[in-house]
Structure 1
Amino acid sequence: MSESSSSQRLYSLDALRGFDMFWIMGAEDFFHELAEATNHPAAVWIATQLSHVDWNGFRFYDLIFPLFLFMSGVSTPYSVGRDLEKGADKSKLLMRIVKRGLILVLFGIIYNNGLHIKPLEEVRFPSVLARIGIAYMFASIIYLYASQRFQYVWFAVVLVGYWLLLKFTSAPGYPMGDLTMEGNFASWLDRTILPGRLHRGVHDPEGLVSAIPAIGTGLLGIFAGNFLKNNPMEKMRKAPTLAIAGIACLIIGGLWDLFFPINKNLWTSSFVLYVGGCSLVLLAIFYYIIDVLGFRRWAYFFMIIGTNSILIYMSVKFINWYYTSKGFFMWLADIAGEHYQAVILAAGVIAVKWVFLWFMYQKKVFLRV
């Protein structure tokens, strides 16, 4: 969702979005294959970080999804905010926001289930794209109608309210405040009201109830985007200010973890602050290097990915990239030997995807939502 105007475009945002997508468009598989082939401690550690924790806790891979949602929020002041400054009608902007959110929900259903007609009980409705669409939609509506002060109030209400909701409720038959997969209130309510199947049977990590705190992730991105776009502070000082805010979020999220565990599956309030802190620090680093210092060439690889992130994410449901990689790189895999064959082909997947995105970029073909 990079709709910012060219005059104010955050090149760092496209690069950071591409950095984020890089890990799920093939880098994850590459490092897992490398760890299996070499059993080197560094490769094993990286591969471990590129897998989700089962329930409570945090690894690098748990950041990928919320970072993308955070960046959708960052882009809002550059898109919706720009149109507001031009005097656009709020009702028309509202319809555009809702339309984008619902399109992402639809894309998510297609991503989960393909273009198949299935019995209702076999269809999975929650998805990564639906979570982004719903959270982006409500965060943008808050941005559209609430003053900046009340946007912060909404942020606090969402996080504290979700904490209290799970603290004083539970699934029937479980003690109040139970946060296990079977016993927490959010998962129970999803099991009760959502049609179709849940990803983990009794729980879905992209369920409807846990979309509520995800609105906070979108709002945190909006705060960052509004600061970068509208604060009169000189650009050189904005990056460290973002970094300090990120560190503060990390500290608060880490302390809240003592009472409300950091948990991606439930998108707990401590998780929102912790991954929000990581996102702010990463944005500060990319912004300082690319937009402040002007060093862009090194980020070209990531920018190509970031400008068409939805396209490459959806493509795996329609294009057999591994088959394409074998077609181009099987000779190299044969030379490397059976032990490293999977590593070469995983690297080949990244290569063919990037060349595809580069071609789309050269032709100015983008999947916009």
Structure 2
Amino acid sequence: MTKPSTDTGSHRLLSLDALRGFDMFWIAGGEEIFHLLAKATGWTGAIIMAEQLTHPEWNGFRAYDLIFPLFLFLAGVSAPYSLGSRLERGDDRNKLLRKVIQRGLTLVLLGIIYNNGLQIRPLEDMRFPSVLGRIGLAGMFAQIIYLYTNTRTQYIWFVGLLLGYWAFVMLVPVPGCGAGHMTIECNPVSYLDYMLIPGHLHRDIHDPEGLISTIPAIATGLLGIFAGNLLRADERSTTRQQKVLILFIGGILFLIIGKLWDYVFPINKNLWTSSFVMTVGGWSLILLAIFYWIIDIQGWNRYAWILAVIGMNSILIYMAQHFIDFEYTSERLFRGIVKYFSEPYQKVFYAIGYVIVEWLMLWFLYKKKVFLKV
């Protein structure tokens, strides 16, 4: 089997693809394996893991909350490699801007298709906000800031977005509720989304991928850009070991700030609060430091390509699992082996088979050099 290239001349980091693949693994069926394993075995470790692979009802943070923002963060990390190298070659900024906007709007369109399919529906039955839509819009605005501002101004944008969003949520009154409330019924984010977004919201009066909470998500994309700038920095000024240390220590500091901020502005993925941005940003920096150190510095990359195959076609597998019946294929392929186990364990093995089938498809596409790029 051919492994993904680690050619540094192409400015492609294997650790970045592997971390993106690790992130997508959980979306592509990894979390279901642990839920079924916990039910089948009752093991304490599996139960704890399964609980972490769920979202809190409202406030709070679990590991599952990191998957979505980590993907947006990694999209930001890629920006200095894709856009920065072109700027250094003298490419026109306005031409790059058109490409950034095109990519962002394409992701919005793919998100609408993911939610609604291609059939024609009444407007009130359609859901327009989506995971891909948020990645598209937040990533687009973060990259526009990157294209047209210097590093100092980018930092000001980052801080301003987080502080401004905090002030907005806590100070803007909601009719019938007043100001300073963060319940699902009485926060200004959900209220404005309900007033502005056509169709229906995911939770009737609130959408976790709504329009207003995309604003602080821009800061998540910017944080990824900061990390990408660091990784691209000349090693004569900042060694790779120093880069790892900066990422790791930065991650710890972000986690501390996020925890302290949580006391006055609760960590909340549904609203993408500023404390949530700091918390997921901290974990994202730490994970990037670990993957970069293990794979690109230590060279322990013998098996990293297994994850990189997923990461290099992440949008494709995200869309495909919604429209292709991988579960059916898994059952037909592995039924002869799985039938010898009891029913709870059968479900576990079928879930593992589900991921294997997905991976084999991605590996085949990788071999044929077929990638969904937007």
Could you say which TM-score interval applies, normalised by the shorter chain?
Answer: over 0.9
The 8 Å contact of residues 39 and 344 in structure 2, kept in 1 or not, is answered as no
Residues 152-184 of structure 1, C-alpha deviation per residue, up to 9 Å, x if partnerless?
A: 000011000000001101321113111000100
Q: Return the alpha-carbon distance in structure 2 between the equivalents of residues 350 and 131 of structure 1.
A: 25
Cα distance, 1:41 vs structure 2? 1.2
Aligned twin of 1:245 = 250
Q: Return the alpha-carbon distance in structure 2 between the equivalents of residues 107 and 7 of structure 1.
A: 28
Q: Return the alpha-carbon distance in structure 1 between the equivalents of residues 263 and 273 of structure 2.
A: 12
- Alignment partner for residue 147 of structure 1, among 141, 145, 150? 150
Q: Return the alpha-carbon distance in structure 2 between the equivalents of residues 177 and 331 of structure 1.
A: 58
The 8 Å contact of residues 36 and 344 in structure 2, kept in 1 or not, is answered as no
Q: Return the alpha-carbon distance in structure 1 between the equivalents of residues 11 and 299 of structure 2.
A: 14
Residues 197-239 of structure 1, C-alpha deviation per residue, up to 9 Å, x if partnerless?
A: 0000010000000000000000000000001102530112211
- Alignment partner for residue 29 of structure 2, among 26, 30, 40? 26
Aligned twin of 2:303 = 298
Partner AA of 2:147 in structure 1: L
Q: Kindly indicate whether residue 166 of structure 2 is the aligned counterpart of residue 163 of structure 1.
A: yes
Partner AA of 1:335 in structure 2: Y
Q: Return the alpha-carbon distance in structure 1 between the equivalents of residues 147 and 281 of structure 2.
A: 21
TM-score (norm 2): 0.96
Residues 234-262 of structure 1, C-alpha deviation per residue, up to 9 Å, x if partnerless?
A: 11221111100111101111100011000
1:117-132 to structure 2, matched below 5 A, reads 117-132=120-135
Partner AA of 1:120 in structure 2: L
Q: Return the alpha-carbon distance in structure 2 between the equivalents of residues 170 and 206 of structure 1.
A: 21
Instruction: State which drifts further: 303-312 or 337-346.
Output: 337-346
Q: Kindly indicate whether residue 20 of structure 2 is the aligned counterpart of residue 17 of structure 1.
A: yes
The 8 Å contact of residues 14 and 304 in structure 2, kept in 1 or not, is answered as no
Q: Return the alpha-carbon distance in structure 2 between the equivalents of residues 5 and 313 of structure 1.
A: 27
Q: Return the alpha-carbon distance in structure 1 between the equivalents of residues 199 and 275 of structure 2.
A: 29
Q: Return the alpha-carbon distance in structure 2 between the equivalents of residues 55 and 173 of structure 1.
A: 21
Q: Return the alpha-carbon distance in structure 2 between the equivalents of residues 9 and 365 of structure 1.
A: 17
| Percentage identity across paired residues of the two chains | 58
1:36-75 to structure 2, matched below 5 A, reads 36-75=39-78
The 8 Å contact of residues 114 and 317 in structure 1, kept in 2 or not, is answered as no
Aligned twin of 2:227 = 224
Cα distance, 1:339 vs structure 2? 2.7
Partner AA of 1:329 in structure 2: F
- Alignment partner for residue 90 of structure 1, among 93, 98, 101? 93
What is the root-mean-square deviation in Å for CA atoms of aligned residues? 1.2
Q: Return the alpha-carbon distance in structure 1 between the equivalents of residues 262 and 207 of structure 2.
A: 21
Instruction: State which drifts further: 257-266 or 171-180.
Output: 171-180
Partner AA of 2:33 in structure 1: F
TM-score (norm 1): 0.98
Aligned twin of 1:172 = 175
Aligned twin of 1:104 = 107
Q: Return the alpha-carbon distance in structure 2 between the equivalents of residues 251 and 283 of structure 1.
A: 18
The 8 Å contact of residues 5 and 78 in structure 1, kept in 2 or not, is answered as no
Aligned twin of 2:330 = 325
- Counterpart secondary structure, 1:317: helix
Residues 82-118 of structure 1, C-alpha deviation per residue, up to 9 Å, x if partnerless?
A: 1100100011000000000000000000111111110
Aligned twin of 1:360 = 365
- Counterpart secondary structure, 2:62: coil
| Runs of 5+ unmatched residues, structure 1 | none
| Runs of 5+ unmatched residues, structure 2 | 1-6
Q: Return the alpha-carbon distance in structure 1 between the equivalents of residues 184 and 142 of structure 2.
A: 27
The 8 Å contact of residues 171 and 182 in structure 1, kept in 2 or not, is answered as no
Cα distance, 1:5 vs structure 2? 7.4
The 8 Å contact of residues 332 and 344 in structure 1, kept in 2 or not, is answered as no
Aligned twin of 2:141 = 138
Q: Return the alpha-carbon distance in structure 2 between the equivalents of residues 122 and 18 of structure 1.
A: 33
Q: Kindly indicate whether residue 287 of structure 2 is the aligned counterpart of residue 282 of structure 1.
A: yes
Partner AA of 1:31 in structure 2: F
Q: Return the alpha-carbon distance in structure 1 between the equivalents of residues 370 and 141 of structure 2.
A: 28
Q: Kindly indicate whether residue 195 of structure 2 is the aligned counterpart of residue 192 of structure 1.
A: yes
Cα distance, 1:10 vs structure 2? 1.2
Q: Return the alpha-carbon distance in structure 2 between the equivalents of residues 18 and 6 of structure 1.
A: 22
Q: Return the alpha-carbon distance in structure 2 between the equivalents of residues 105 and 224 of structure 1.
A: 25
Partner AA of 1:363 in structure 2: K
Q: Return the alpha-carbon distance in structure 2 between the equivalents of residues 39 and 88 of structure 1.
A: 57
The 8 Å contact of residues 5 and 79 in structure 1, kept in 2 or not, is answered as no
- Alignment partner for residue 346 of structure 1, among 329, 347, 351? 351
Q: Return the alpha-carbon distance in structure 2 between the equivalents of residues 98 and 210 of structure 1.
A: 19
The 8 Å contact of residues 127 and 206 in structure 1, kept in 2 or not, is answered as yes
Aligned twin of 2:3 = none
Q: Return the alpha-carbon distance in structure 2 between the equivalents of residues 153 and 282 of structure 1.
A: 25
